[in-house]
Amino acid sequence: MTTATSIRSLEPKALWNNFADLNAVPRPSKKEERVIRFIKEFGQGLNLETTEDEAGNIIIRKPASTGMENRQTVVLQSHLDMVHQKNAGTDFDFLTQGIEMLVDGDWVKARGTTLGADNGIGVATMMALLQATDIAHPPLEALFTIDEETGMTGALALKGGLLKASIMLNLDTEDDRDLTIGCAGGVDVTATGTYSQEGTAQHSKGYRLEVKGLTGGHSGMDIHLGRGNANKLMNRLLYLAASQFGLRISSIDGGSLRNAIPRESFAEVTVPAANSAAFEDFIKAHTAVLKAEYATTDPRLEVQQQALAAPAQVVAADFQERFLQALYACPNGIYRMSPDIEKLVQTSNNLARVLLKNGEYTVQCLTRSSVDSEKEDLARAIEAAFALAGAAVTMAGSYPGWTPRPGATIVKLMSELYHSMFQEAPHVNACHAGLECGIIGAHYPDMEMISFGPNIRGAHSPDEQVQISSVQKYWNLLLETLKSIPEPEKAV
């Protein structure tokens, strides 16, 4: 393994140097002031037309290279924010520190945190193109959106009429074989409420339970892989132990971000001292069961129990039962596969966050579907489960899917280029992730759109990595695409 210094020597150097510069700028969703300023100063430093809209999206325009002035204008689009996840043992402050990168063979990784290749490689690509003086290209608009990862509010706030392009290249796909032409929409479903507490019974023993080491990943792109959800697995343990050993809950803290499959969950509980030995044996036995079930998808799964002083208060018994039942009933994972597109997840839910402490609780889900009516139906099913537990349920941040147009000119052009360059056919597909294309397409319905990118693995988790050779492949495809953009079709 080598250090971040060597990243700047990778090819294409302009892209990797911009990625290194970008990763030195903290850029969490909802707190993007520094990266917005960074991109604005970058565009202004090149003496290119640089504007910021009311939401904080940045548009930088670059005239065509010589001889390509009459080609169709192309907008390149990526988002500025990144998912912030770190391993439990990693000491890192995303608000003040730049990402610590390293090269491991053909991959660039980060030290115990997310890397930010999603969507930093796309941003760095656009920066490299804006800087370049030797690349053939049509008139370009570089659209840098904000807050993609926690609601796509930048794309939602983008106004029609700002962009002049007739073609959009979204650089936010994570497999270099894919040309993506459709995606799922989504909605956040959040259950909140309060509960009564009662004093812990005498002769109770306290424990901290930890479910951790799960693989996690992107709650859209990886949902079909059947990886364990820490919130679901923790609830399974609590539900069974409550009925068998009189377990009482003091607090639960599981998952983190709505679009990341939960990797960790922690709970503080009590059991009657007389049942403690049997409870400890149950946890050990059920840990073996879970490890066997998830040996393929989550080989590092761990369940740990640690004795601690019994907390002074626990959740009231009647609410605890209803809450655990609601979590058990909450759908998680694939809800329905597409009947029309082979191997495409049509509808799913991610039980992303469970927080219960000091008389208040919050449960967050992200429900996705490429069919809006089915998305709404699944969201109502989740609402019903938590309403039965007495929760107030809200639905927010709904965004539309992106309907595929396989006959679009840009799809045909890039498919032919891919086949010619790499001697194989690309995977022209739709994905289950939420891309900004659907939202932007609602503002610009006549714009042709396609999404592509390099191989990125483990996005939204500390295992995130991007393949160096794949970045080179993606870069070359992009350059050939820009060189081949046709003139506008003349009306007849």
Could you tell me the residue ranges of all domains in the chain?
Answer: 4-183+402-484, 187-399
Exactly one of 141, 148, 175, 383 is catalytic; name it: 148
Helices 317-329 and 372-387 cross at an angle (nearest 10°) of 160
pLDDT band at 397 (very low <50, low <70, confident <90, very high): confident
Question: Per-residue pLDDT for 491 more than 70?
Answer: no
Q: Which two tokens stand for residue 169?
A: 């290249």
In words, the CATH class of domain 4-183+402-484 is alpha beta
Structure-token pair, residue 446: 């006549």
* Catalytic option among 32, 81, 141, 175: 81
pLDDT above 90 coverage of the chain, percent: 88
Classified as helix, coil or strand, 265 is strand
Q: pLDDT at position 5, please? A: 64
Separation of alpha carbons 27 and 30, rounded Å: 9
pTM here?
0.72
Given this model, what pLDDT does residue 88 score? 82
| Residue 415 pLDDT exceeds 70 | yes
Distance CA(247)–CA(270), nearest Å, equals 6
pLDDT score at 357 = 97
Q: Angle at CA 51, nearest 5°, toward 45 and 55? A: 130
- At residue 144, does pLDDT exceed 90? yes
Q: At what angle do helices 13-23 and 468-484 cross, to 10 degrees?
A: 110
SS3 289: helix
Question: In this model, does residue 66 exceed pLDDT 70?
Answer: yes
Q: How confident is the model at residue 257 (pLDDT cuts 50, 70, 90)?
A: confident
> What band does 400 get if pLDDT is binned at 50, 70 and 90?
confident
The DSSP-derived string for 106-166 is TEEEESSB---HHHHHHHHHHHHHHH-SS----SEEEEEES-TTTT-HHHHHPPTTS---S
118 catalytic? Reply is no
Predicted local distance difference test score (pLDDT) of residue 1? 57
Strands 392-399 and 427-430: unpaired
Which conformational region is residue 339 in: left (phi greater than 0), alpha (psi within -120 to 50 degrees), or beta?
Answer: alpha
Domain 187-399's class? alpha beta
Q: What pLDDT, on a 0 to 100 scale, did the predictor assign at position 442?
A: 87
The mean per-residue pLDDT over the stretch 416-426 comes to: 98
Backbone angles phi, psi at 31, to 5 degrees: -135, 60
Question: What are the tokens at 193?
Answer: 């409420």
CB 146 within 8 A of CB 39: no
- What are the backbone dihedrals phi and psi of residue 300, each rounded to the nearest 5 degrees, phi first? -100, 10
Cα–Cα distance, 154 to 92 (Å, whole number):
27
Query: Rounded mean pLDDT of the chain?
Result: 95
Q: Which of 32-46, 331-345, 402-416, 421-435 has the highest mean pLDDT?
A: 32-46
Q: Which residues pair with 302 in a beta bridge?
A: 212
Question: Tokens in use for 80?
Answer: 């500025």
**Cβ(352)–Cβ(258) below 8 Å:** yes
User: Could you read off the pLDDT of 178-192 as tens digits, one per residue?
Assistant: 999 989 999 999 999
Assigned token pair, 270: 């009590």
Amino acid at 398: S
Q: Mean pLDDT across the stretch 366-379?
A: 94
pLDDT at residue 205 above 70? yes
Residue with the bigger pLDDT between 310 and 340: it is: 310
What does the pLDDT look like over 100-111, one tens digit per residue?
999 999 999 999
439-455 average pLDDT score: 95
Q: What is the pLDDT of residue 215?
A: 95
Q: Left if phi > 0, otherwise alpha if psi is -120 to 50, otherwise beta: which for 390?
A: left
Q: Does this chain's domain 4-183+402-484 share its CATH topology with 187-399?
A: no
Active site annotation includes 148: yes
pLDDT at 114 over 90: yes
Instruction: For tokens 């927010």, name the residue.
Output: 396
Separation CA 126–CA 68 (nearest Å): 18
The neighbour count for residue 169, using CB atoms within 10 Å, is 25
CB-hemisphere CA count at 13 Å for 21? 16
What are the distances in angstroms from CA 273 to CA 18, 204, 205, 279, 350?
59, 5, 5, 10, 36
The lowest-confidence range among 33-42, 430-439, 464-473, 477-486 is 430-439
Query: CB neighbours of 124 closer than 8 A, spacing ≥ 6?
Result: 15, 16, 18, 19, 22
* 323, pLDDT greater than 80: yes
Task: Note whether 431 and 183 are within 8 A (CB).
Answer: yes
Separation between Cα atoms, residue 100 and residue 115, nearest integer Å: 8
Quick: pLDDT tens for 340-372.
888 889 999 999 999 999 999 999 999 999 888
* β-pairing verdict for 140-145 and 74-79: parallel
Q: What is residue 261's predicted lDDT score, i.e. its pLDDT?
A: 96
